[in-house]
Structure 1
Amino acid sequence: MPANKKYLTPSASQRFAKITAAILGGLMVAVMFHMALASWFNHVAIIITSTFSAFILWAVLMVLAFLGKNGWKVWGIYLLASLVLFVIFYFGKQTNPLV
C-alpha cells in the first residue's frame, strides 16, 4: 500500500535538508551534548554512559527532524543548538581543565 501523496515532501531540496539534518545534524547535537556534559562532570562516567545515551538522543533527533515542516529551519535549530553546546563545552574546559 503506497503512502498518501499529500503527506510526502514534494521538494527535493526539502527532502535533502531533512535527511541530512536528521543524520548529520542530529549526530552533531548528540555528540556536542555529551562533550559539554563531559567538560563539567566526570568525563569517564559521561563517556561510558554516552555509548547508549548518545544513540538514543540521536534517534530522537532524527525523528524530530522529519516532523518539521521546513528542513532548513531544522538545520538552523540543530546548528544553533550545537553552537550553544560548544560554548558550554569551551567554558567548561576553561573552568575545569583537569576534568
Structure 2
Amino acid sequence: MPANSKYLTSSPVQRAIRLLTGFVGGYLVTTLLHLIAAAYISKSVILITFTFSGFIIWAVLFIVAYIPKKAWQASLTYFGVTGVLALILFFTNTYNSVLS
C-alpha cells in the first residue's frame, strides 16, 4: 500500500535536511554517549559495547529524525543534544584529569 501523499514532504531540501540530521546527528549523539560512558567505565568494555549497541542506537536515532513535522525541529534537537553531551564530555574529562 503506497504512502499517503499528504504526509510526504515535497521539498527536496527538507528531505536532505532530515537525511543529514538523522545520519550525522544520530552518529554524533551515539558516539558522544559512548565516549561519556568510556570516561567512567573501562575503555575496552565500552569499545566492545559500542561495536554492538552503536549501530542499534544510531539506527533508532536515524528513524526518530523523521518524527517531527518540520525538519529544522529535528536538526535543532539533535544538535542541541550534541552540544549538551559535548559539554558533559568536556567537563567530565577536565574533572577526571584534575583528579588524576
Structure-1 residue corresponding to 2:52: 52
Aligned pairs for 1:71-90 (under 5 A) are 71-90=71-90
**Higher mean C-alpha displacement, 48-57 vs 1-10:** 1-10
Structure 2: how far apart are the matches of 1:94 and 1:47? 21
Aligned pairs for 1:23-42 (under 5 A) are 23-42=23-42
Q: CA deviation at 1:40?
A: 2.5
Structure 2: how far apart are the matches of 1:86 and 1:44? 21
TM-score by length of 2: 0.87
Q: Which runs of 4+ in 1 moved over 3 A?
A: none
The residue identity in structure 1 corresponding to 2:65 is A
Aligned pairs for 1:1-20 (under 5 A) are 1-20=1-20
Give the secondary structure class of the aligned counterpart of 2:10. Answer: coil
Q: Deviations over 1:32-73 (max 9, x none)?
A: 111111122222211210111111110110110011111111
Structure-2 residue corresponding to 1:68: 68
Structure 1: how far apart are the matches of 2:86 and 2:44? 19
Structure 1: how far apart are the matches of 2:47 and 2:92? 16
Where structure 2 has 5 or more consecutive residues not aligned to the other structure, the ranges are: none
- Computed over aligned residues only, the root mean square deviation of the Cα atoms, in angstroms, reads 1.8
Structure 2: how far apart are the matches of 1:11 and 1:79? 22
Q: Is the 8 A contact 1:40 1:96 kept in 2?
A: no
The residue identity in structure 1 corresponding to 2:11 is S
Give the secondary structure class of the aligned counterpart of 1:3. Answer: coil
Q: Deviations over 1:6-33 (max 9, x none)?
A: 1211222211111111111111111111
Q: How many residue pairs are counted as aligned between the two chains?
A: 99
